[in-house]
Chain A
Amino acid sequence: MSHFLVSAAYYIQGIILVYFLAINSTYTLLILFALKDIVQNSYLSTSRGARRLLTSDSYYKPVSIIVPAYNESAVISDCIRSLLNLHYPEFEIIVVNDGSSDETIARLKEDFKLGAYLKPVRRQIPHAPIKNIYISGNYPNLIIIDKETGGKADAINAGINVSSYPIFCSLDADSLLEPDAILKSSKPFIENDEVIATGGIVRVLNGCLVKDGAVLEAELPTKTLEAIQVLEYARAFLSGRTGWNLINSLLIISGAFGVFRKDMVVAVNGYRKTVGEDMDLVMRLHRHCLDNKIPYKIFFVPDPVCWTQVPFTLTMLRKQRNRWHRGLLDSLLANRSMILNPKYGAVSLLGVSYFLFVEVLGPIIELLGYILIPVFYFMGLLDAKFVLLLVAMSLLWGISINISAIFLDTYNFRRYKKQKDVLRLCLMSVVDFLGYRQITLYERVRACFYFRGTQWDTQKRQSQ
């Protein structure tokens, strides 16, 4: 009996150890790839390159910016005003009011002199019925869709049907786009016909100095919970996404800021009504192009920036992470034909496998580790020295990954001007392991068991 227990314990330890090595190695590898990509980008794209789009009559493609809004009356007008200041030759803003129960429409009618929009709409993708479409009197490139509630995916689909331009950008209502964000994220579409989707970086707006709908000064928020998320976003985007560019296997383009080619999205029937609609769309785009042998490119451009509000209370954070994880699970389930399928090449064998083994199974195994290692230790199956060294190693390795992410950020982008902020971020790298990581871990494992819920939670608005 005890012999069985001992060998079982060794095997389990072995699995946990192997997982730990594999996951951290993957992160480190992704960071190295990201470093190469960022260095390459710094040489290849200059601000002069982006200016070419502006100083030409034709060297650009017009973009539709679709903003789904549900009960966002507090921030929607500011969002629109900041979008109207975008530095881009030709674009339209389509705000989709998804059956809000507050006075979003009344506010908009007042602020932007809305009149009826009569251009016939092509119903290329299905969505909940539209009640009315308005166009602004003083801003002819501002269109407001008033429709029945259908969820974020549904709202963006409506926006796609109404849009007139070949490229669209989906944007959250509480996010702020930098003035040259569309310029930089649409440039790849002009330079290469194969590009069908690009994602930009999402940064944390909390704590930043904002004036007239533009971020003047990037500063770390004072609250630790928010500051840790700055680190997390830097890690997730700069090391987590850039790294995949090298093998054309980017699987998530953030729902907060993504730019797509309309014809491809229409070909896969738009967004699906689900919790993780952003990842699901990208996976389906990969599948569609690989199935039909269409040469394509989906990649992450680290330059254009979108600033977004992050949760500032623990409850909000947990709900968000729970939702994100359920979205991930749903996307993987719905696109399960892409799991370990050699037909789909690197996207499946590397990209999807990463999500399955590192992002889905990883938290479960890590949680098991937290529980079992002390158990084994107390049962006398483990050496104290071994446990301590293992813990020290995993902590230091994890911290080094965090610091590498901050390094990547400061290497090229240097948003946070103050030395104090950079140092504080390094401190956050350590604090990450002292509770924050464990909370998000727990929430993600919980999400696996509560998989059936699909509500799009409303988030408390933080006024600036």
Chain B
Amino acid sequence: MRLTSSPHFYACLYIAVGLLAAFNLFEIIFMLFHKNRLDKSEVEKELLKHRISTAIITVTDPSEVLPKPVSAMNYAAYNEAVSSIIESFEGEIVERATKLIYKFEIDLYYKRLSRTTIWFKRAHAIDMLSALKLKKNREFFYAVFKSEPVKEVRYRILYGLSRLARDREDIYSISKLLATLPYLTAKYTEDVFLNTITALKNSGKEEEFGFFLKQIMTDTGIPLKIKRDCLSACYLAGCERDGLIVKEYYSAFQNEPAIIIACIRTLANVDPGILPEVLRHKDWRVRLTALKYAHLGGTDLLHDLKDLVHDSNYHIRLNAALALSKLGDPGLEILRGETASTDKFAANAAKYALTGAEAAS
């Protein structure tokens, strides 16, 4: 009553209606304009990338035939083209690409960007820099890590650092910095160390990782999970020569199932003698991992495997049966016997493993 009789009320309403109508119109026009601009910009970017790649292959100094980057889109084009090349190739074309980056100061551009106030823009800049794998960025990454407050960006910085790992000192610093951050995921940590191994392999210093593993074995400043992930990374990268060090870990960490599981994968190939022990380990996850490699242990394990087919855990039964199926005729004999067992679960597991084996042969 009082509201609607005030003259200002209607004025407000009129203004509100007018503003809304204007806003709608403005939004539509802006949207169409923006879309056009983005479409055009994308086409230009693809053309530029094509030009950059062609220049890098055909000309010794590509900076002579290419335009200097000006807009964000230009820089992105250079970054994407060059990082594709750096990711998949090595040799002279990578050197040309790297020189191009330095000549056009593309790394400086992203280093500047990595100081903006908005955290996800910083994260993006760090990602772009990591993709370039420039060895000169190492100090920069360490410096930025110290001053960076947001942890999402710090994880990315460490990832970028891991691709530039030079020797065991570098990897050790990375692991110490990782230890200061909350644990993210196993896969992230494994990936970080896998990057370090790849970087070492590319410079012919693969053995440095082994030394690093030995160094952190007794280091209490490095959490257990990280040690476990280092061992996993070692396995995933196919580092057989580190078998001895892994064996030392196995002996030293008998109380830590996580470490034992990580060790089994490497040791099963190198030293199958550990299999009988781990098959009887009290932690079911250790037994399960052991079962996945039990077929490397030979016929000595047949008896243990037969018992495990009757285990109360579904995964153990299944994998025990599968392991038996890979141990040739003696294993298959046991499985055939088990299909008649009164333990229905064991019988089903045995049947499944048998059909799998018969299908394969």
- The reply on B139 being an interface residue by CB < 8 A is no
- The reply on A201 being an interface residue by CB < 8 A is no
Contacts of B17 in A (CB 8 A): 389, 392-393, 396
Q: Report how far A57 CA is from B352 CA in the complex, Å.
A: 27
CB neighbors of B among A192-228 (8 A): 192-193
Establish whether residues B27 and A192, one from each chain, have CB atoms under 8 Å apart when the complex forms: no
Among the stretches B180-188, B208-216, B275-283, the one at the interface with A is B180-188
- The reply on A46 being an interface residue by CB < 8 A is yes
Mark each residue of chain A from 366 to 391: 1 if its CB lies under 8 Å from any CB of chain B, else 0.
00000000000000000101100110
Establish whether residues B21 and A396, one from each chain, have CB atoms under 8 Å apart when the complex forms: yes
| Interchain CB contact (< 8 A) of B355 among A118, A392, A411 | A118
| Interchain CB contact (< 8 A) of A193 among B185, B194, B345 | B185
- The reply on B70 being an interface residue by CB < 8 A is no
- The reply on A426 being an interface residue by CB < 8 A is yes
Establish whether residues A403 and B10, one from each chain, have CB atoms under 8 Å apart when the complex forms: no
Contacts of B124 in A (CB 8 A): 43-44, 46
Q: Report how far A406 CA is from B24 CA in the complex, Å.
A: 12
Mark each residue of chain A from 44 to 71: 1 if its CB lies under 8 Å from any CB of chain B, else 0.
1010110010001111010000000000
Q: Report how far A61 CA is from B186 CA in the complex, Å.
A: 12
Q: Report how far A59 CA is from B314 CA in the complex, Å.
A: 26
Given A120-B345, A410-B35, verify A386-B187 contact (CB < 8 Å).
no
Contacts of A43 in B (CB 8 A): 120-121, 123-124
Establish whether residues B188 and A191, one from each chain, have CB atoms under 8 Å apart when the complex forms: yes
- The reply on B190 being an interface residue by CB < 8 A is yes
A-B pairs under 8 A by CB, number: 103
Establish whether residues A191 and B184, one from each chain, have CB atoms under 8 Å apart when the complex forms: yes
| Interchain CB contact (< 8 A) of A57 among B83, B236, B351 | B236
Q: Smallest CB-CB separation from B31: which chain A residue?
A: A407
- The reply on A245 being an interface residue by CB < 8 A is no
Establish whether residues B185 and A190, one from each chain, have CB atoms under 8 Å apart when the complex forms: yes
Contacts of A422 in B (CB 8 A): 31-32, 35
Q: Report how far A383 CA is from B1 CA in the complex, Å.
A: 11
| Interchain CB contact (< 8 A) of B185 among A191, A392, A393, A419 | A191
Given A58-B187, A389-B14, A389-B17, verify A48-B4 contact (CB < 8 Å).
no
| Interchain CB contact (< 8 A) of A120 among B4, B24, B185, B348 | B348
Contacts of B355 in A (CB 8 A): 118
Q: Smallest CB-CB separation from A46: which chain B residue?
A: B127
Q: How far is the CB of B358 from chain A (nearest CB, A)?
A: 11
Mark each residue of chain B from 11 to 47: 1 if its CB lies under 8 Å from any CB of chain A, else 0.
0011011001101100110111011101100000000
Given A43-B121, A44-B120, A59-B191, verify A414-B39 contact (CB < 8 Å).
yes
Q: How far is the CB of B194 from chain A (nearest CB, A)?
A: 8
Contacts of A122 in B (CB 8 A): 314
Q: How far is the CB of B168 from chain A (nearest CB, A)?
A: 23
Q: Report how far A46 CA is from B314 CA in the complex, Å.
A: 40
Establish whether residues B185 and A406, one from each chain, have CB atoms under 8 Å apart when the complex forms: no
- The reply on A423 being an interface residue by CB < 8 A is yes
Establish whether residues A399 and B24, one from each chain, have CB atoms under 8 Å apart when the complex forms: yes
Q: How far is the CB of B143 from chain A (nearest CB, A)?
A: 22
Mark each residue of chain B from 227 to 262: 1 if its CB lies under 8 Å from any CB of chain A, else 0.
000000000100000000000000000000000000
Q: How far is the CB of A422 from chain B (nearest CB, A)?
A: 6
Contacts of A190 in B (CB 8 A): 185, 187-188
| Interchain CB contact (< 8 A) of A393 among B16, B31, B318 | B16
Establish whether residues A403 and B31, one from each chain, have CB atoms under 8 Å apart when the complex forms: yes
Q: Report how far A191 CA is from B188 CA in the complex, Å.
A: 7
- The reply on B131 being an interface residue by CB < 8 A is yes
CB neighbors of B among A407-430 (8 A): 407, 410-411, 414, 417, 419, 422-423, 426
- The reply on B349 being an interface residue by CB < 8 A is yes
Q: Report how far A397 CA is from B184 CA in the complex, Å.
A: 43
Contacts of A406 in B (CB 8 A): 31
CB neighbors of A among B320-341 (8 A): none
Establish whether residues A192 and B184, one from each chain, have CB atoms under 8 Å apart when the complex forms: yes
Q: Report how far A400 CA is from B194 CA in the complex, Å.
A: 50
| Interchain CB contact (< 8 A) of B349 among A57, A120, A404, A417 | A120
Q: Report how far A192 CA is from B151 CA in the complex, Å.
A: 13
- The reply on A293 being an interface residue by CB < 8 A is no
- The reply on A40 being an interface residue by CB < 8 A is yes
Q: Smallest CB-CB separation from B352: which chain A residue?
A: A118
Contacts of A390 in B (CB 8 A): 13
Given A58-B187, A193-B185, verify A400-B27 contact (CB < 8 Å).
yes
Q: Report how far A109 CA is from B199 CA in the complex, Å.
A: 49
Q: Smallest CB-CB separation from A417: which chain B residue?
A: B39
Q: How far is the CB of A220 from chain B (nearest CB, A)?
A: 15
Establish whether residues B23 and A400, one from each chain, have CB atoms under 8 Å apart when the complex forms: yes
Establish whether residues B191 and A56, one from each chain, have CB atoms under 8 Å apart when the complex forms: yes
Q: Smallest CB-CB separation from A400: which chain B residue?
A: B24
Q: Report how far A193 CA is from B184 CA in the complex, Å.
A: 7
Q: How far is the CB of B116 from chain A (nearest CB, A)?
A: 11
Contacts of A456 in B (CB 8 A): none
Having A190-B187, A191-B184, A403-B31, one finds 5 other A-B pairs with CB under 8 Å, namely A56-B191, A120-B345, A120-B349, A393-B16, A396-B21
Can you list 7 A-B pairs, Cβ within 8 angstroms, ordered by A?
A191-B185, A191-B187, A191-B188, A390-B13, A407-B31, A410-B35, A423-B32
Interface residues in chain A, defined as those with a beta carbon under 8 Å from any beta carbon in chain B: 10, 40, 43-44, 46, 48-49, 52, 56-59, 61, 118-120, 122, 190-193, 383, 385-386, 389-390, 392-393, 396-397, 399-400, 403-404, 406-407, 410-411, 414, 417, 419, 422-423, 426
Interface residues in chain B, defined as those with a beta carbon under 8 Å from any beta carbon in chain A: 1, 4, 10, 13-14, 16-17, 20-21, 23-24, 27-28, 30-32, 34-36, 38-39, 83, 120-121, 123-124, 127, 131, 184-185, 187-188, 190-191, 194, 236, 314, 317-318, 345, 348-349, 351-352, 355
Give the top 3 A-B pairs by smallest Cβ distance, nearest first.
A396-B20, A43-B124, A120-B348
